[in-house]
Structure 1
């Protein structure tokens, strides 16, 4: 039987392995899962998985091994997720049937089988209904890839629903936004923009969009670094001043079960939950007191697209050139879908004045 070895690795390469699959199984059928479990263990709006044939498991490339990973079994899920213990990237897991779910966002070389074809085809959204996402989530931005419609499947067994933690399903009395990972080891709140920030030099680059000064800027980011740190094709960030987060973040930026990883030593700090693996924060030193909060852990009552809290940049993706190299069809579809969503929901596409998030 003809086979092909697919190589996977995280950002720091502590998790580095191959999956050898029959060529007859290619392209793999991949799906975007929008359930609360996936969002709050990845820190993204969805996970990007493809089940490989039964019996196929990772073959590690030294010095990587199972010891490089942390396992997390979400309560009542029947699944076991694995993420890199060093950088936090979700790298795969076994589903309720014991079959390995590959993370197609961390395949070395991208979506190219070397013969003019694709290694995977994203053909399905699952758990998009309001009980899971609140508003359809990123599926609303990605109804099709190329000329192919992406199906939507919401099984009767609805799995882990949105919301699933205390205080996540109703507006908080103090009008703050809850951030909480799947295991609850990381939990904090975000406040609305204060006048003292809006009118301060700290906002000189335009971190508050003129269209609505009660909301924060949000971004769809397809850069390679974020992809290899979340295990998702697209990362989604809300930009917030550190002093608008409660409890206050210490100098290390780590609270609760967070672990720190310096993705660019001396300039970029990332944090993730050391128990469930959820990406939490990204901090660029040159942005001063602004921190990027992973939107997958945000529990807005209206849904995962945070319509009451965020002004999304829909005119362009963050670092689109990286996404085009990795999975062109997906990136092109998301870029166009974001513009259409912006027109439909907000009456037009939005850009950030001065492009602060690209610094």
Structure 2
């Protein structure tokens, strides 16, 4: 008698990439590792990635007309795997080992991700020491009552990681002047200025600055379905910046360097790096002078949360109902953790994006 199995379906936002995996039920739950390393942050544009290794011999079965042809690959001499993302919308689907072709899959794009289904188990904060503040590993340490392990292997030298010639190691540059945002391959790179005095004094600043510190930009975590399916991660952070405070100033199509554009709806334009797949910018017609910058690209010396530059909304992420429906355990851990972290760190409990 054949061993029982469970088949899961995955798809990116544009649905150009759709596939199934068939797992032996004896292998479940699969362990989710939240990787905070600089590679994963700069490749996804998110605070971390959400990956699980598939059992040996389990492969992706593409749903026609979807195939590997709809994916772009990215690798680098420092990598032990090839990273794959949708060529059209930028969604990362996972990494394939260079040595044994086994998959480490992005768990955030599957139809089955609710904790009660018993498919996945949040297991590890991996590489939390890759940034000074620990990123989300300092925000929460348990999911569904399970204590996540902290694993911090020896990091690769900065010289082996693409895109790190500037950023954490920018030498004598005065970070108070501007902040670098850059994807892993370096194909998308720009700088963000602090709120200028004329902007602070103008009506254009209404709603976009916090009374806590008008020299920092507002920022928020986001767990909406659309962001999840264009990044391949359960959460992304956004920092809200006027277009004229970005240098070089993005053109109307927002395409900086190796960027590609994707419209998730008629009035929403998103960009990602066409080379490494990093989410870069979000723009919507309701507020055309503001762009949301993916915080995983920020090269702030103080860490992932870029606290010298951002005032975070601690009370809630954007679209919490989406996150709670998709995986309540993770979303509750994030929401409760951000409230606690924000109180301790002096961030805004609430604000409404205009």
Q: TM-score range by the shorter chain?
A: over 0.9
Q: Distance in 2 between matches of 1:152 and 1:172?
A: 33
Distance 1:203 1:195 in 2: 10
How much has 1:100 moved relative to structure 2? 0.3
- Distance across 2 between alignment mates of 1:99 and 1:308: 40
2:318 pairs with 1:303 = no
Q: Please point out which of 76, 100, 106 is paired with 2:109.
A: 106
Give how far 1:256 is off.
0.5
Q: 1:147 aligns with which of 129, 145, 148?
A: 145
Structure 1 residues 140 and 160: alpha-carbon distance in aligned structure 2, compared to 1, 3 A threshold: farther
Q: Distance in 2 between matches of 1:64 and 1:145?
A: 34
Distance 1:243 1:258 in 2: 18
* 1:37–1:160 Cα contact (<8 Å) kept: no
List alignment gaps of at least 5 residues for structure 1.
Answer: none
Unaligned runs of 5+ residues in structure 2 are none
Q: Is this contact kept in 1: 2:163–2:185, CA < 8 A?
A: no
State the Cα distance separating 1:164 from its structure 2 match. Answer: 5.9
Distance (whole Å) between structure 2 residues aligned to residue 330 and residue 178 of structure 1: 30
1:163/1:176 CA distance change after superposition, 3 Å:
farther
Cα deviation 1:209-252 (Å, max 9, x = unaligned)? 01101100010100000000111000100000000000111111
Task: Measure the CA separation in 2 of the matches of 1:259 and 1:287.
Answer: 21
Structure 1 segments of 4+ aligned residues over 6 angstroms from their partners? none
Contact 1:36–1:163 (CA under 8 A) maintained in structure 2: no
Q: Please, what TM-score do these two structures have when normalized by structure 2?
A: 0.94
Residue equivalent to 1:40: 42
Q: Compute the displacement of 1:307 (Å).
A: 1.0
Distance 1:196 1:209 in 2: 16
Deviation at 1:201, TM superposition (A): 2.2
Matched residues in 2 for 1:77 and 1:319: separation?
Answer: 34
Listed as ranges, the matches of 1:65-84 within 5 Å are: 65-84=67-86
Partners of 2:273 and 2:166 lie apart in 1 by 20
RMSD between superposed Cα atoms in Å = 1.6
Paired residue for 1:284?
284
Per-residue deviation, 1:74: 2.5
Matches within 5 A, 1:1-359: 1-95=3-97, 97=99, 98-111=101-114, 116-129=116-129, 132-156=130-154, 158-159=155-156, 165-169=164-168, 170=170, 172-173=173-174, 175-204=177-206, 206-265=207-266, 267-346=267-346, 350-352=349-351, 355-356=352-353
